[in-house]
Amino acid sequence: MGRSDYHSDASPTRLTLHHDRAQIDDAQHRLADSLRQAGYGETACFAVRLAVEEALANAFNHGHADAPDEPVVFSFHVNADRVEIEVEDQGPGYCPDEVPDPTVDENLESLSGRGLVLMRAYMTQVDVIPPGNRVRMVYVAGG
């Protein structure tokens, strides 16, 4: 079955994740299985998985820095043409314009901002939803 033959009218998959590597890996495997079933190739699967890994890491490590036991809501919807993903933490949020650009010379040694740069590099669209505790990412097939 090719991507053009795959149609999913199913509701988005919505998972509540705790900061547990096995649980996060299982969620990512479910997403990868959906991508493969929809006909996405390894390059697309890699791109989406890397962006999700960064979004989840940001949610747990920054959004929940003061409350590591709080869950993160991870949802995704895959169809033949696009993948939509949301990651929402329970933190206070942030303003993406205030995150230092890690590609600028004075920030090259800073670890801050790298995840956001990677998400934007691999996904077609990345939106941080105010107040900044939810990220919505879209990957468009062939885009």
CATH number at residue 11: 3.30.565.10
State pTM to two decimals.
Answer: 0.84
pLDDT at 2 over 60: no
Per-residue model confidence (pLDDT) at position 97: 77
| Structural domain range at position 31 | 3-140
pLDDT in tens, 11-29: 899 999 999 999 999 999 9
Long-range contacts of 38-46 (CB under 8 A, 24+ apart): 38/3, 38/6, 38/8, 38/78, 38/79, 38/80, 39/1, 39/2, 39/3, 39/4, 39/5, 39/6, 39/80, 40/3, 40/78, 40/83, 40/141, 44/139, 44/141
The domain total for the chain is 1
